[in-house]
Amino acid sequence: MTDNNSKNILQEYGGLSAQFAVGTAITVYAGIWLDGKMGLRKPIFTWLLPLIFIIGMLYKIIKDNTTKKDAQ
Claim: this prediction has a pTM higher than 0.85? no
Residue numbers of the domain that contains 10:
3-71
Total domains, the chain = 1
58, with CB counted inside 10 A (0-12, 13-18, 19+), is exposed
| Sequential pLDDT tens for the chain (72 residues) | 566 677 787 888 888 889 999 999 999 999 999 999 999 999 999 999 999 999 999 998 888 878 665 565
CB of 68 closer than 8 Å to CB of 49? no
Q: Please tell me the predicted confidence (pLDDT) of residue 16.
A: 87
Q: Please tell me the predicted confidence (pLDDT) of residue 70.
A: 58
